Structure 1
Amino acid sequence: MNWKKEKTIKMEKSFCSKFHRVMRDQILFVLTILAVVIGFVVGFGIREIEPSSDVVDWLGMPGDLFLRLLKMMIVPLVVTSVIHSTASLDPKSNGRVGMISFTYIILTNMMGCAVGISLFYIIKPGQMLKDKNDEPSLKKIQSQDIFADLLRNAIPDNIVEAAFRKTQTKYETEIVRNVGNFTNASVPDVNQWTRTIVKSVGKSDGPNILGLILACMFIGIAAGKFREKGRVFLDFFAVSAEIVLQVFRWFLWLAPVGVVSLTAASIAGTRDASNTFLSLGYFVLTVALGIFVNQFICHPLLYFIFIRKNPCNYILSFKKAWLVGFASGSSALAMPDLLHACEIVNKIDRRIARFVIPLCCTMNADGSALFITTAAMFIANITGYALTFGNVIIIGVLTALSTSAMPAVPSASIVTLVMVLTAINVPVHAVSLLFAVEWFMDRIRTGCNVESHSVCAAISNKYCSRPSAMTEGNVEDDTDEVLTLVVSSKA
């Protein structure tokens, strides 16, 4: 009987230790969920007393300060992470496999944005919350001017100024007197005057994220060419990136306080709570349907087009990696299972798998791109921001580029969403609504990202599994560097 008792005690201790470890690793997630619940309770409680706008403002003040903390670190995060990642992951250093995988990453990120945009216009989440009293501006922004601003901002004329200002077409109304003969000059006639809109290229406040990303990509790629000569430069930005990420991790521990404040203020200040929850439900439906399309249609279709085989068996061989990614919310934690399925189960070249999978874990996030694009359009819709075709293109381009250098912090997509909204001057206070569903959104988009990594490995192996396609020494060296980067940053 004693041995049974000892076995029971050991099992209890083992369970307690595992439970303690899980709670320690997921404490921020648990606190954020509790914060959402508390925020709803406080918000509905205060809403019953019909608070004034001043009360709602002060209720949301801690949350506003939390969002300001995140926005404060956006520019340092973009500069350091983009330069470091592009210098470490220069696709030309590994020839054809690097170019194919890098092209796949950019195209699938754009594909995720396109799916999100399409479904947004089909389902239209947030339409019922749009302010009915919003009148269109007299100064209509033309689509050609939006694209012109996009091109100007992509190539900033001053990289320092790009950190806090961006180019924007300005419109001014001028009243011009018509020249001509009038039948009765003594009687004032409003038709004698004409209102015209004069355009000029000016500046607006806010960081030029697109320009910073492209400029830092050029600097990072150039720095990667110098290897030993540029080692000091690269080490500086590597350490700087880690420092900025550490500051971000500190700030994210304040997320529960910010979530309580923002959620309570949003609920207390809303006049139609039923429509708010209905809009949020439509948003979840839009993202979930987009993830389904990506996982079960787009990825298998890409595999079939390029590999010419049935994608079902291949994708099912990564079910364990998908489950790990879904459970943890991190594709980096699924990397060992991804490598095992690639090398052992599917016989993918070890050199290719060990380069492509870490690269994808760092830069490939089409599921996150879909979520961020849909969320940015949803927030813009409920805050009354005009979603013209040009604005949607800007959101898609910014998201596709931003997700390639997404910060390795918990709920990184929320951080990137704040970055995109800030870049297009959309108020970010409504982001608090998304925290209520973030735990579910994070899991399903991570599962989509994991599946995308596996397809990228198969396509790269199809066209690069030849001795001439890669230089083995370079692959081993760069693989170790990429693995170190991913593990250290995602830990």
Structure 2
Amino acid sequence: MDTQTKASELEGLTNNGGTELTNGVTMNHDVVVEPFDPRQSLMPKLRLFLAANIMLILTCVGIVLGFAIGFGVRELHPSKDALMWIGMPGELFLRMLKMMILPLVVCSVITGTASLDPKANGKISAVTFAYVIITHIIACVIAIVLCLLIKPGEGKSSVGSSLVDQEPMETQDIFADLLRNMIPDNMVEATFRKAHTRYRMIEETVSNNSINGTSTFDTLVTATKYASKTDGLNVLGLIGVSTVIGIAINKVKDKASIFLGFFSGATDVVLVIIRWLFCLTPVGVASLIAVSIAGVADLSTTFSQLGKFLLTVCVGILLHQFIVLPVILFVTTRRNPLAFLLSIVRPYMIGFASTSSAVAIPEMLDACERRNKIDSRVCRFVIPLCTTINADGSAIYITSAAIFIAHFTGRDVMASDIIIIGVLTAVAAMAVPSVPSASIVTLVIILTSLNIPANDIALMFAVEWILDRLRTACNVVSHTTCAAVTYHFCKKNLGPCDVMETPSDVERNILTKI
């Protein structure tokens, strides 16, 4: 192409809508240069964020609505029937979730342990138990230090409140029941009954002969303990049985591939069903919080009487879950504690609303496996086990409550008493079931073992609606932290995973097809 041809083409471009600038440069009007709009780049990210966190946002809205409805309805002095219907959506939500706990625990534990060699399984158990004991001790120390600083209950006199009749129990009874539940005598019965020590009260009439020949009669009441059973899911026994079955499957390997495939598929199915149920989370959370607040008769009197105790427990739980546990996580695993806490917000809220860490098992598994990339074999064993034996929030509550009641009743609490309370709580917290207000029963046992009157324990029920939620949420943080710590120490012993897909992968595939 010669110079004349180029010049003619350039002239044609200029004549076809071109504009010649003062410096001789020609601009084509057909090319439109739009200014950069930062909103265009933010909108896709915002839509992705909303799509990924829509349930979390709706759950937060449910919590706010629950508090608003609770405080509003409380001013109307609702009847028991009205409270029942306010809490009905939340009750049904919990019933549906609890319905799925049994198949989830059994199938996930069997699948997880079957994919591990016995050496790795033993190391995972050892690390988990070490973590539980250490965090329980730290939780008790925090509660003791705060009680010595804040001194809840001092300067008050007993108000003579009465407690609902409790069966007499000894400290050793809780450990005996723990061992019996670890090894159930009937695998099927463990799905709906568990061991529980009971007392049979026997009245005997004793005759006393006086010197002048008259007789008086006294009634002597003796208590005889016996091993009995009570209704309830024996989670610890199911974990033990499922662990043994999983190890046996690993031993026979290919011969039990069909058997293992059944439990692996059942785990995936149960998780998908639970994910469907979690669509009702905002409604269930709002209902549960509303009925708990609406049922409190006098908030001002309650908080004024138990202000220091409430402050002690709240500060202790907040310190433990937002400082101690993140420090343990960072020191042992080098993970970012803030990112980890943000990844477990959903199970945290489920635990806060339901007051049961067992109900939050599916969300904890999802947060650990999908968001934090923790091996599913570790999660499926550690998370169900921790919901049974790990209760950091309960340890803080029980220790603080025991010292508070001792001060409240006017008893001088010696250093030896504080040490005994801490040691008993650190061990007894391993046997606190993951059901609402279970810590109250453990508290009665510890007070009885120290000969501290338990009548004033009725005061605890006045603030139980909020403290039960706080300590359950703390337990959720501890369970997930335990899974991360255990995986860090045991990942070199895991070996290749025999499970074809993780539950989160299967869920995504099924939900995509639907």
- TM normalised by structure 1 equals 0.67
In 1: Cα distance, 2:379 partner to 2:104 partner: 18
Residue number in structure 1 paired with 2:33? 3
**Aligned residues of 1:332 and 1:490 also touching (Cα < 8 A):** no
1:176-191 → structure 2 map (5 Å cutoff): 176-178=204-206, 181-183=209-211, 189-190=216-217
Aligned residue for 1:108, secondary structure, equals helix
- Report the secondary structure of 1:221's partner residue: helix
Does the aligned pair in 2 maintain the 1:112–1:369 contact within 8 Å? Answer: no
| Corresponding position of 2:184 | 156
Aligned residues: 410
> How do residues 315-394 of structure 1 correspond to structure 2 at under 5 angstroms?
315=334, 318-319=335-336, 322-329=337-344, 330-333=367-370, 335=372, 373-376=391-394, 393-394=427-428
2:273 corresponds to: 247
CA distance in 1, matches of 2:122, 2:233: 30
Taking the aligned partners of 1:233 and 1:21, their CA distance within structure 2 comes to: 40
Q: Which moved more, 1:253-262 or 1:131-140?
A: 131-140
Partner of 1:107: 130
Q: 1:144 aligns with which of 137, 158, 172?
A: 172
> 2: distance between equivalents of 1:441 and 1:62?
25
Mapped to 1, the partners of 2:97 and 2:233 lie a distance apart of: 14
Match of 1:220 among 231, 246, 250: 246
Answer yes or no: is the 8 Å Cα contact 2:388–2:432 preserved in 1. no
Out of 307, 319, 342, the position equivalent to 1:289 is 319
CA distance in 1, matches of 2:436, 2:274: 13
Is the Cα contact below 8 Å between 1:35 and 1:256 reproduced in 2? yes
Shift in alpha-carbon separation, 1:451–1:65, aligned structure 2, 3 A: closer
Q: Corresponding residue for 2:81?
A: 54
Q: Which amino acid aligns with 2:222?
A: T
Among 282, 293, 303, the residue aligned to 1:256:
282
Match status 1:17 vs 2:8:
no
Verify: 1:485 aligned to 2:502, yes or no.
yes
* Cα shift at 1:162: 1.0
Aligned partners of 1:363, 1:156: CA distance in 2, in Å?
19
Shift of 1:456: 2.4
Measure the CA separation in 1 of the matches of 2:476 and 2:230: 37
CA drift at 1:270: 0.8
Distance across 1 between alignment mates of 2:99 and 2:42: 42
* SS, match of residue 254 in structure 1: helix
Aligned residue number for residue 107 of structure 2? 80
Matched, 1:210 2:243: no
* 1:308-319 alignment runs, 5 A limit: 315=334, 318-319=335-336
Using a 3 Å threshold, how does the CA distance of structure 1 residues 388 and 270 change in structure 2: closer, same or farther? farther
Matched, 1:396 2:427: no
Counterpart code for 1:249: R
**Contact 1:40 / 1:264 at 8 angstroms: preserved in 2?**
yes
SS at match of 1:229: helix
Q: Is the 8 A contact 1:36 1:435 kept in 2?
A: no
Structure 1 residue ranges without an equivalent (≥5): 304-313, 337-355, 400-416, 462-469
Alignment of 1:445-484 (within 5 A): 448=481, 452=485, 456=489, 475=495, 477-478=496-497, 481=499, 484=501
1:45 partnered with 2:68 = no
Q: Which ranges in structure 2 are unaligned for 5 or more consecutive residues?
A: 1-30, 345-366, 406-420, 444-460, 509-514
2:92 to 52, 65, 69: 65
After superposition, the C-alpha distances for 1:278-308 in whole angstroms (9 at most, x for unaligned) are 67765553233224234436874xx6xxxxx
Query: TM-score of the superposition, structure 2-length normalised?
Result: 0.65
CA shift digits 1:374-426 (9 cap, x unpaired): 44468889999x99987863542568xxxxxxxxxxxxxxxxx449959x899
Contact kept, 8 Å, 2:112 with 2:378, in 1: the verdict is no
Tell me the amino acid that sits aligned with residue 456 of structure 1. Answer: F
Q: Supply the distance in 2 between the matched residues of 1:176 and 1:214 (Cα, whole angstroms).
A: 42
Partners of 2:132 and 2:474 in 1: CA distance: 17
- Please report how far the alpha carbon of residue 487 of structure 1 lies from its aligned counterpart in structure 2 after TM superposition: 5.0
Alignment correspondent of 1:306: none
Q: Are the equivalent residues in 2 in contact too, given 1:331–1:446 (CA < 8 A)?
A: no
User: Cα offset for 1:149?
Assistant: 1.6
- AA paired with 2:430? G
Cα separation, 2, equivalents of 1:196 and 1:44: 48
Cα pair 2:389 2:432 within 8 Å, conserved: no
Q: Report the structure, 1 or 2, having the larger helix content.
A: 1
The answer on whether the counterparts of 1:362 and 1:486 sit within 8 Å (CA) in structure 2 is no
Q: What amino acid maps onto 2:485 in structure 1?
A: S
Where does residue 237 of structure 1 map in the other structure? 263
Match of 2:295 in 1: 269
| Superposition deviation, residue 328 in structure 1 | 2.6
CA contact (8 A) 2:174 2:431 kept: no
Aligned equivalents of 1:293 and 1:159: distance in 2? 38
Give the conservation status (yes or no) of the 8 Å contact 2:378–2:486. yes
Cα deviation, 1:412-455, whole Å, max 9, x if unaligned, reads: xxxxx449959x899x9x99747987999699769956873685
Q: In 2 relative to 1, CA 101–122 (structure 1 residues): closer, same or farther, beyond 3 Å?
A: same
* Preserved CA contact (<8 Å) 1:77 1:244: yes
Give the CA deviation at 1:182.
Answer: 4.1
Change (3 A) 1:392 1:450: closer
Instruction: Specify the code of the residue in structure 2 equivalent to 1:19.
Output: L
Residue 166 (str. 1) matches residue 183 (str. 2): no
User: Which has more radius of gyration?
Assistant: 2
